[in-house]
Structure 1
Amino acid sequence: MSVPGGGESTATTDLSSSPSNPPEGRGSIPGIMLPPSSSSTQQYVLRSGRYVGRGGEVKVKRKCVEVACQPSVVFLLATVCMTALASVLLYYALNGHYWEMLNYDVDKVNEIVANNSTYLSVKWLFNDRVPVITYESGYTTPDPPKYLLPLHSGVWISCIDLEEKDFKDLQQLGYQKANKCVDHLDPYKDIPKSTEARASWQHRMQNLAIACAMVCLILLGSAIVVGLFGVCRPQISAVLVTGVIYVLSATFALFTLTIVHFKHKNRNDCEPLDVWTRLIPDLASSNEFRSARRITHGGSLYLGWAGAIVCVLASIMWILLSKMMRYNPITFST
């Protein structure tokens, strides 16, 4: 007889024979030890893997396949997979350094230099990634060259988009700045503070994005702990709370994504962030190459949007799992 997990059924069993060797005919429960009873027939009800009746309680030994194929267990495995995917996507997105990227259009830079060839010349380094602009002033002491470096920026940090080896080679070629990255949490550690109103607005937006990202990561860690407790015990209330926590995690992830998105849209497409101009001062003094800048979104931002959507789906699955566990309790015993 196959025993469905979590459901309820009845079985009428003949107890006239010896309890240690129950009959295998119609209406019997094969393979289990039935308690002795004065009556010749006993009705048993299957509840959560046990037959319960007036004669006592009989534990049913189920196969591993029967345990794994319970509807609540199958839905639990799907929920765990969706939750793991959401957590991984959001973790790597919020800790990624490629939300925004700054590069230079090679053809546009060459066109600008060609139109001003009387006093400008360009030299490309590292596979046409770094243009070095030389100004011909006509004086005995030439103006220092300007290095227009590529950048990438995340929620927490902005860095020059060069390998460590390339950056050291660049310093040997004459680049004087020692900072390769600037921390958004402490942007004035090694770089002078800016007093521009535009910079202050950018800093406020950046601080809001950092705060939302920190809350999102804390909620993700809390959801893992509460979810494990709710599944291992099992506790329906803890499973429901896990779903609510993932809703909050998705909400704060959306806050972070929205802030970064509008911070990009509310400034000119060719205008760099203030932390970028403080990391690379040549950005502020090379306005003639403004039209050659290409500020785009990086892969971390798209990971964040995908993680937020999957997180919403995971929260819905946790809430549905709590409803399912109310009527189909999860039992892992065989």
Structure 2
Amino acid sequence: MEQTETPPQDCECGVHPSVFYLLATLLLTSCSTAMLCAAIMTDHWEHVVWEHAALAALANASNTALQWLLDEKVAKIEEPGRKGGGTFLVPMNGGIWTMCVSLEEEEVTILSRAGFPTEPLCTNYLADNEDEEPRADWQHRMQNLSISCALVCLIVLGSAALVGAFGVCKHQISAVLITGVMYLLAGLFAMFTLMIIHFKRIQRVSSRGSSHGDDTGDGVVGNQAPAIPLLSAREFSTSWSLELGWGGVALASLTSLLWILLSKIMRYNPISAMLL
């Protein structure tokens, strides 16, 4: 009896298109998470500099003697009868919960010869330091609110990573959908942080001509009292951490959409079937 040979069947070795969608989702998720975390953890959200022309005019008007140091990068207020120490007007850069002097170690060493303090050059807004000058009440509230939003964003990002990994590995559609919602929430809280930081100095801008428009000690190292007539010469500007944060918010919103669509895809094409 002759046996009928079954013609060989072609093996389909192609990769399911949904696998590429999954990989793209994971890649974008990593990028958005890294951008948001980097933006929150870096300390270049805003820069504080002193406008030389305005500072010189205010110093002349208030009979304040200034000594320029480091190629006019730092100004020292000359106080008659005072030896050592003094008040220094310096550039600074700040993050969500820190404000640091924008000087190199070598520059700080040189300034120390003129009485510049060598103690920690960063102010931590999270620390409750009673020795520091009190910040304006409105600005203190906004600072605390931005810190709270940033911390919530970090917590949500960490939780979303765990839930997303569980949903993909265990093929849980509900977990994948929740991950999409969590990234949307992370982007929302990050946007709140960005908006608060962006408009934190709005009172300062609106009261440009007043020396008390922003009564914080940002940009001043030492006794703040002699610098009060000169405070309106400060310039506040946002920096690259803020731009990085906006990019992270945009990617987080897109990531949220991809995770939600991934849950729809998994409903009809389980991940296990994609990978086999």
Could you tell me the TM-score, scaled by structure 2's length?
0.84
Could you tell me which residue of structure 2 aligns to residue 274 of structure 1?
Answer: 216
- Superposed displacement of residue 111, structure 1: 5.3
Contact 2:87 2:222 in 1 (8 A): no
Q: For the residues of structure 1 that align with 2:242 and 2:201, how far apart are their CA atoms?
A: 12
Q: For the residues of structure 1 that align with 2:264 and 2:3, how far apart are their CA atoms?
A: 43
- Per-residue CA deviation, residues 85-108 of structure 1 (Å, 9 max, x unaligned), is 111110011111111211112344
Q: For the residues of structure 1 that align with 2:216 and 2:63, how far apart are their CA atoms?
A: 31
> SS in structure 2 opposite 1:294?
strand
Question: Structure 1 pair 17/287, CA: closer, same or farther in 2 (3 Å)?
Answer: farther
> SS in structure 1 opposite 2:6?
coil
Larger helix fraction of residues: 2
Could you tell me which residue of structure 1 aligns to residue 183 of structure 2?
Answer: 246
Pairing 1:174–2:119 present:
no
Question: Aligned AA for 1:128?
Answer: E
Pairing 1:130–2:74 present:
yes
Contact 1:22 1:30 in 2 (8 A): no
Question: Structure 1 pair 280/188, CA: closer, same or farther in 2 (3 Å)?
Answer: same
Could you tell me the TM-score, scaled by structure 1's length?
0.70
What's the C-alpha RMSD, in Å, of the aligned pairs? 2.9
- Superposed displacement of residue 276, structure 1: 2.7
- Superposed displacement of residue 288, structure 1: 4.1
- Per-residue CA deviation, residues 160-208 of structure 1 (Å, 9 max, x unaligned), is 111233223322321246231111111416x2463xxx62332222111
> SS in structure 1 opposite 2:72?
coil
Question: Structure 1 pair 273/247, CA: closer, same or farther in 2 (3 Å)?
Answer: farther
Question: Aligned AA for 2:174?
Answer: S
Question: Structure 1 pair 90/246, CA: closer, same or farther in 2 (3 Å)?
Answer: same
Pairing 1:212–2:149 present:
yes
Q: Which deviates more from structure 2 when the two are superposed, residues 89-98 or residues 254-263?
A: 254-263
Contact 2:45 2:242 in 1 (8 A): yes
Q: Which has the larger radius of gyration?
A: 1
Q: For the residues of structure 1 that align with 2:25 and 2:111, how far apart are their CA atoms?
A: 49
Pairing 1:290–2:231 present:
yes
Structure 2: which 5+ residue stretches go unaligned? none
- Superposed displacement of residue 323, structure 1: 0.8
Question: Aligned AA for 1:157?
Answer: T
- Superposed displacement of residue 81, structure 1: 1.8
Structure 1: which 5+ residue stretches go unaligned? 1-15, 32-61
Could you tell me which residue of structure 1 aligns to residue 38 of structure 2?
Answer: 92
Larger strand fraction of residues: 1
- Which structure's relative contact order is higher, taking Cα pairs within 8 Å and 6+ residues apart? 2
Contact 1:110 1:122 in 2 (8 A): no
Q: For the residues of structure 2 that align with 1:215 and 1:117, how far apart are their CA atoms?
A: 45
